[in-house]
Structure formats: structure tokens, C-alpha cells
Chain A
Amino acid sequence: MKAIEGRAWLFGNDINTDAMAPGLYFKASMDEMARHCLETVDPAFARSVRPGDIVVAGRNFGVGSAREQAALALAHLGVGAVLAVSFGRIFYRNALNFGLPALTFPEAATVLAGDLLRIEPVAGRIENTRSGATHRVPGIPPHLMAMVEAGGLMLWLKLRLKKEAV
């Protein structure tokens, strides 16, 4: 998996999945839903985030519902990775299943909005270009490495089904 470089977008604690994928847009297209992603927390985010940008959050990011559209909306906007002090359990699984790197980052509070970060998800290395700091964090868990390296659960399932067919 390649290194990811992007600008940091900061969020606080307990950012919930309803904020990322509001129920009011459940029947709309992913384009439409993604336009409203996190609007109740940071109205500028969805229209200003650029491909490769990185979400940096506090504790319990993605608490709440099982709606996978929360992780999908971030991926749809081109978010390159999500770093948080901790994650809601279903959001974390959804993100990795879609190939969106999610890393626990205890020192998230050292990052300022707009900092340029360089992340190596497999190794668990985060470099802050502004401060020059390098952080070691837990990488992708070993039992999920094959799935994440394959590009997510769908691609991993394809490989598994192909193997079974042989």
C-alpha cells in the first residue's frame, strides 16, 4: 500500500455516523449524500476537501450507526486516510473494508488544521511536514493486512472465491 499525503482536517471527539451520512439523504445518490458529509460539524469540509486530504479526529470517531455510507462518503470525497485517537467499532471495520486506511493516532492533538501529513498505513508511520515530527502508531492489524492489501473486502472476496473455484 502506497504512502498517503494530504492536508489535515481536524475534528473533535465523538463525531457520529449520522453527521457523516445524514438519514435525510439516505435515498439520494452518494454524490448528494457526500455533499452533506459532516456539514453539521464543519460546513466547509465537503466542498473544500481535496483528494488525498486526511481526517484527523479525537476519541470515538464514527460512533453510532452501522451505516456504511459514513465511511463511503469520506472515501467518495477522496479522503486518503482517517486518523483518530480511537474509533467507533463498526465505522472502523467499514473503513478498512472499503480500503480506506483508518489508524489510531493517540497524538492527534499535535496536528494543526492544514498541516501536510505523510502516512505509511502498513508500517504505521505518520510524518508531519510542518512540525517535522514523526509518529509511530499501530499499523493495519496483521489479520486484516491481506484484505486491506487486496484493496478492501470486495477484492479480497474475489480472490477467495477464485481460489475456492480452483
Chain B
Amino acid sequence: MPRTLTEKILARAAGQQRVSPGEIVTCRVDLALLLDSGGPRRIWPRLTELGAGVWDPDRIVLCSDHFTPAVDAESAAILKLTREFAAHFNIERFFDMRGIGHVLLAEQGLLAPGMFAVGGDSHSSMGGAFGCFMAGFGAIEMTGVLVTGEIWIQTPETVRVNWSGRFARGVVAKDIALFLCRQLGMENGGRVLEYGGETVQNMSIWERMVLTNMAAELGAETGLVEADEVTLQALRAAGREPALDALDWRSDPDARYAAVHDYSATELSPQIAAPHSPANSGPVAGFDTVRVDQAYIGACVGAKLSDLRMVAEVLKGRTVARGTRLLVAPASVSAMTAAAADGTLATLTAAGAYLLPTGCGACAALGAGVLAENEVCISSTNRNFRGRMGANSAQVYLASPYTVAASAVAGRIADPREFLP
């Protein structure tokens, strides 16, 4: 019987020959990602109450990213407790203020095709770009994982999402993600979104990660991309030699999908999601009367090195409009280092961008860059729920780094194609 990639991974993790959609299985966890937000501060008291330790410190990756850097006594205490947790439980792979956890997993080469991974944050789905199954869970459930090393999953059905053709200039994976939020809606529980087709094959691992990241906005169990040469190259670039069977982690050619969607990238235009939902999306055209107070480049989905370079392409030789501020919070220290080395950061700051520390920042109103009442923000992040980035009356529009940069220059929402050669 042909199987989807998800069914292959879950069967292996559950120690079974095969699994079927709907079947409830208990999976052994290969890797558990904890962040400072829903990590030690919520889990440690529970472990103490249970009198339990962690099942395998070498399978745990811990990152401080949500409350970094400390801005008050409360966040300082959370970061301190996170460090103490790492020391107490001998967690060697602890990244303290090095970047956003989902991006660090990729940079460090900690994910591999076929893995079954979990994370204490909804955007853990981002890891699926490596041909693994990675999904997000609450801290209470991560407590269970730390104690037992296992978790139950109701085997999802797989929806295949194919993209063919080449993007027009200025159109990127983020535009696909926003388009799909409208097209497929935010209610895809019980489904895995498997992204494929020529357009996805031609994407870098970083752009694939944008698609799998926003499987969370689509409400899917998770998103993933089958392993291929791009996956192997990404692992090698991170200094990891892929396993011999890495390329086996693909769906069988005649695997049964619950649905198959075919879209053309050639016809896609830059997309924007208007307040207050990622699914409230459509072409950027028609929003050019919306004046922008803040343009924000940040978060796991939208401040990787590839995103910073998109911003620089638009900003080169231009300046941010008067009355508009452009804030940039790089997703990791290594992204910031590389962007400094190749001149990207200098282009950004010369244009008037304001550089913020690495971390989750204003995306969830935890760090610098939150919005005042009635302010309008265009953001490269992934959520624009009411109040998400600050005041309840603030208006947040989601877009690609290209569109955010173009809007920063125009001072109003703008189509990036007018700013690119």
C-alpha cells in the first residue's frame, strides 16, 4: 500500500508497520523544542510537583527568544529561570539569546528527514520544511513529553498543495502563504499540508520554511515538504552529513491524498492580509491609500537572512518615508552577522531602518516595537489578530518582506513590483 510522508514518519515513530488516517498512535519523540515563553517557566514547577526528571536531555533543544533581551524584572526573572533549567537538567543544546528557536533548529542542522519532533509553540510546524513531522503543543502537553518521551497523535490525512511555474519579480513564499490562508481557510484540523510542485522544489529551505511555518495560520496539524537535494544541501551547510536514507522520506508516487490543490505561481501577485486575520487576505492592489505608521520586519517567518536581503533590495538607494518608522529585528544572531558582513544591514540602516535585538519581539507584543492605539503597521510576521502586537485598536497588515519594505519607503501600503528592477 502506498503511503504519504506523514504516514511513514508516524508509523516509524509509533513502532508500527503502517498507520491510517484517523488512527490514534503514541509516538516516541526524536526532538523536543522548548522556548522561554511556554518552556521552563511553565514546565519546571510541574516537573517538581511530579517529582520527575526529563526523559532524555539530549533530545531537548531549549531557546530563549520570546523575552529577550530582558526589559523589566519579570522578563529578567523568566530568562534567569530558563538558564537555571538548562543547567539543572543538563540540556547541552541551550541557545540563550542566539535567535528564534524555529530558525536556530534550521541553522544548527538539528532537524532531519523522517524525524518526529514536537515544540512548545504553534509555529513549530516550520521544521516540516526538512521533510520531518514537527508540530506545536501547549506547555502542559510538553510537560508530558519531557516526562514520558511520548505523545499521542491522531494520524492526520494529507492534503497535497502543488505550485507550478516561476514567481513574478517581487512575489515570494509569503505571498503563497497569505493566499492560502484565504483560499483554504484557517480551519484545517486533522490535516497535514504537504507542499510540492516545481515552484516549491525551486525554493530555498528558508522559503520552504515560510510555507510550513504558516501551516499554523491555516490551522493544520502541521505542514511539510518532502526531502530532496535542497534539504540535503541545507543540512550540509549547517555542518551535518545527511543520513543515507534521507531521500527516502517522501510520499510514494501513488500515495492517497485527501485532496490535491494545484496553483500557478506565475499568476500570483503580492498579497496582503488586512486586519484582523491572516485569512483576510488578497492582492496588495487597492490598499495604496492606507498610511503606515510602522513597518516591521521580524519573527521566525519574516526576519531570516533571506528576508533581510529582500528588504535591502528594495531599500538600496532609497529612504524610509517621513512619518513612517521601519523596525528590523533579525531572526537570529547568525542572520544578523551574515547581513552585517555582506552589507545588507548597512543598506537598511542607511535607508533609515531602526535595528532591534534578535528575538520574537513585537510579533506577540512581548518585545520592543509594540503599537499604540489606532496605529497602522505593516508586518512581515504571521499573525494580525486584534491586539496581537499591542493596542487593541492597532491595525496590522501582514505581507512579504518586499511589500513591507516598499510600504516603508512609500509611507503607505505599496506594491513592491514598483520598487524592484
Contacts and interface: CB of A to CB of B under 8 A. Distances in A.
Interface of A: 14, 16, 18-19, 22-24, 26-27, 39-40, 59-60, 63-68, 71, 86-90, 93-94, 97-98, 141, 143-144, 152-154, 157-158, 160-161
B55 to A, nearest CB: 12
5 contacts: A14-B277, A86-B187, A93-B138, A153-B140, A154-B50
Interface in B148-195: 148, 152, 186-187, 189-190
Which 9 A-B residue pairs are closest in the complex by CB-CB distance? A68-B138, A23-B365, A27-B74, A94-B138, A23-B364, A18-B385, A60-B187, A66-B122, A97-B140
Contacts of A59: 187
Interface string B370-395: 10000000000001011110101000
Given A66-B122, A93-B137, A27 B78 contact: yes
Nearest to B50: A157
A157 B24 contact: no
Interface of B: 24, 37-38, 42, 46, 49-52, 67, 72, 74-75, 78, 120-122, 124, 136-141, 143-144, 147-148, 152, 186-187, 189-190, 216, 219, 221, 277, 279, 364-366, 370, 383, 385-388, 390, 392
- Among B121, B136, B190, B216, find the residue whose CB has the most chain A CB atoms closer than 10 A: B216
Contacts of B52: 157, 161
Given A27-B72, A86-B187, A161 B50 contact: yes
B377 to A, nearest CB: 14
A57 B203 CA distance: 39
A18 B385 CA distance: 7
B74 to A, nearest CB: 4
A130 B365 CA distance: 42
B139 A157 contact: no
Contacts of B139: 66, 68
A64 to B, nearest CB: 7
Given A68-B139, A93-B137, 10 more contacts: A18-B385, A19-B385, A22-B387, A24-B365, A39-B392, A60-B187, A64-B216, A90-B137, A97-B144, A154-B143
B366 A63 contact: no
B386 A19 contact: yes
A90 to B, nearest CB: 6
A65 B137 CA distance: 9
Contact of B147 (A64, A98, A157): A157
Contacts of A141: 24
A109 to B, nearest CB: 16
Nearest to A154: B46
Contacts of B383: 18, 64-65
Contact of B386 (A40, A86, A144): A40
Nearest to A89: B189
B390 A24 contact: yes
A67 B140 contact: no
Nearest to B71: A27
A89 B219 contact: yes
A41 B121 CA distance: 24
A67 B138 contact: yes
Given A27-B74, A71-B138, A143-B152, A66 B120 contact: yes
Contacts of A88: 189, 219
Contacts of B74: 27
A98 B140 contact: yes
Given A98-B140, A143-B24, A27 B75 contact: yes
A26 B367 CA distance: 11
A94 B364 CA distance: 20
A150 B199 CA distance: 49
B387 A19 contact: yes
A19 B46 CA distance: 26
A71 B186 CA distance: 19
Contacts of A65: 121-122, 364, 383
A93 B52 CA distance: 22
Given A40-B392, A88-B219, A161-B51, A66 B121 contact: yes
Nearest to A27: B74
B187 A97 contact: no
A124 to B, nearest CB: 17
Contact of A93 (B121, B141, B216, B387): B141
Nearest to B49: A154
Given A27-B78, A65-B122, A67-B38, A87 B144 contact: no
Given A23-B365, A153-B144, A157-B147, A89 B221 contact: yes
B402 to A, nearest CB: 26
A143 B22 CA distance: 12
A60 B141 contact: no
